[in-house]
A and B are shown apart, each in its own frame.
Chain A
Amino acid sequence: MGRDRAIQIGFVGIASSSILVVALIFLFLFKEAAPFAKHPGLAALLDNQWIPVSFQKERFGILPLAAGTVLVTAIAMLVSVPLSALAAVYIAEVAHPLEREILKPFIELLASIPSVVLGFFGLVVLAPLIKQFFGLNTGLNALTGGLLLALMAIPTIVSVSEDAINSVPATYRNGSMALGASRMQTIWRVVVPAALPGILGAVMLGTGRVIGETMAVLMVTGNAALITANPLSPVRTMTASIAAEMGEVPFGSIHYQALFWVGIVLLLITFGLNFIARRISVRYGMMR
Chain B
Amino acid sequence: MNRQLHETAAVFLLRFTTYAIVGVVGYILLDIIRHGLPVINWAFLSEMPRRAGSEGGILPAIVGTLYLTLGTVAIALPVGIGTAIYLSEYAAPGRLTETIRLAITTLAGVPSIVFGLFGLGLFVLFCQFGPSLLAGSLTLACMVLPTIIVTSEESLRAVPQAFRQASLALGATKWEAIRTAVLPYSVSGIITGAILGIGRAAGETAPILLTVAAFFLPKLPGSIFDQVMALPYHLYILATQHPDTDKVLPLQYGTAFVLLAMVLGLSLGAILIRVHFRRKYKW
- Tell me which residues across on chain B come within 8 A of A247, comparing CB atoms: 209-210
- For B109, give its contact among A105, A114, A243, A271 (CB under 8 Å): A271
Q: How far is the CA of A95 from the CA of B233 in the complex (A)?
A: 39
Q: How far is the CA of A18 from the CA of B83 in the complex (A)?
A: 8
Known: A114-B260, A278-B105. A215 touches B206 (CB 8 A): yes
- Tell me which residues across on chain A come within 8 A of B232, comparing CB atoms: 114, 116-117, 215
B256 and A120 within 8 A (CB): yes
Q: How far is the CA of A207 from the CA of B107 in the complex (A)?
A: 16
Residue B149 interfacial (CB < 8 Å): yes
A97 to chain B, nearest CB (A): 15
For B210, give the chain A residue with the smallest CB separation: A246
- Tell me which residues across on chain B come within 8 A of A219, comparing CB atoms: 236, 239-240
A134 to chain B, nearest CB (A): 20
Q: How far is the CA of A10 from the CA of B90 in the complex (A)?
A: 11
Residue B43 interfacial (CB < 8 Å): no
Residue A189 interfacial (CB < 8 Å): no
Contact with A along B8-37 (1 / 0, CB 8 A): 001101110110111011001101100000
A15 and B87 within 8 A (CB): yes
Known: A22-B107, A28-B126. A83 touches B21 (CB 8 A): yes
B110 and A3 within 8 A (CB): no
B118 and A28 within 8 A (CB): yes
Contact with B along A97-122 (1 / 0, CB 8 A): 00000010111011011111111110
- Tell me which residues across on chain B come within 8 A of A12, comparing CB atoms: 86, 90, 96
B206 and A214 within 8 A (CB): yes
Stretch at the interface among B45-53, B216-224, B263-271: B263-271
Interface residues on B, range: 35 or more
Contact with A along B185-229 (1 / 0, CB 8 A): 000000000000001101111100110000000000000000000
Total A residues in contact with B, Cβ cutoff 8 Å: 82
A5 to chain B, nearest CB (A): 9
Q: Give the secondary structure class of A's interface.
A: helix
- Tell me which residues across on chain A come within 8 A of B259, comparing CB atoms: 114, 116-117
Interface residue ranges of A71-100 to B (CB < 8 Å): 83, 86-87, 89-91, 94-95
Residue B70 interfacial (CB < 8 Å): no
Stretch at the interface among A37-45, A55-63, A224-232, A260-268: A260-268
Q: How far is the CA of A81 from the CA of B205 in the complex (A)?
A: 26
Q: How far is the CA of A86 from the CA of B22 in the complex (A)?
A: 13
Residue A179 interfacial (CB < 8 Å): no
- Tell me which residues across on chain B come within 8 A of A254, comparing CB atoms: none
Residue A274 interfacial (CB < 8 Å): yes
A91 and B18 within 8 A (CB): yes
Residue B63 interfacial (CB < 8 Å): no
A116 and B267 within 8 A (CB): no
Q: How far is the CA of A21 from the CA of B103 in the complex (A)?
A: 8
- Tell me which residues across on chain B come within 8 A of A137, comparing CB atoms: none
A29 and B117 within 8 A (CB): yes
Q: How far is the CA of A86 from the CA of B152 in the complex (A)?
A: 31
A89 and B240 within 8 A (CB): no
Q: Give the secondary structure class of B's interface.
A: helix
B265 to chain A, nearest CB (A): 10
A94 and B15 within 8 A (CB): yes
Residue B252 interfacial (CB < 8 Å): yes
Known: A17-B79, A22-B103. A270 touches B109 (CB 8 A): yes
- For A274, give its contact among B15, B105, B126 (CB under 8 Å): B105
Q: How far is the CA of A100 from the CA of B64 in the complex (A)?
A: 38
For B154, give the chain A residue with the smallest CB separation: A288
- Tell me which residues across on chain B come within 8 A of A260, comparing CB atoms: 117, 121
A31 and B14 within 8 A (CB): no
Contact with B along A6-43 (1 / 0, CB 8 A): 01101110111111011011001101100000000000
Residue A151 interfacial (CB < 8 Å): yes
B118 and A270 within 8 A (CB): no
Residue B114 interfacial (CB < 8 Å): yes
- Tell me which residues across on chain B come within 8 A of A200, comparing CB atoms: none
Q: How far is the CA of A120 from the CA of B257 in the complex (A)?
A: 11
Residue B74 interfacial (CB < 8 Å): no
Query: Which of B149, B173, B240 is the most central at the interface, judged by chain A CB atoms within 10 Å of its CB?
Result: B240
Q: How far is the CA of A106 from the CA of B109 in the complex (A)?
A: 23
6 closest A-B pairs by beta carbon, nearest first, are A212-B111, A114-B203, A14-B82, A15-B86, A274-B109, A28-B121
User: What are 17 A-B residue pairs whose CB atoms fall within 8 Å in the complex?
Assistant: A11-B90, A21-B107, A24-B118, A25-B142, A29-B117, A106-B22, A107-B21, A109-B267, A112-B203, A117-B235, A117-B256, A121-B28, A124-B252, A154-B21, A214-B113, A215-B232, A242-B116
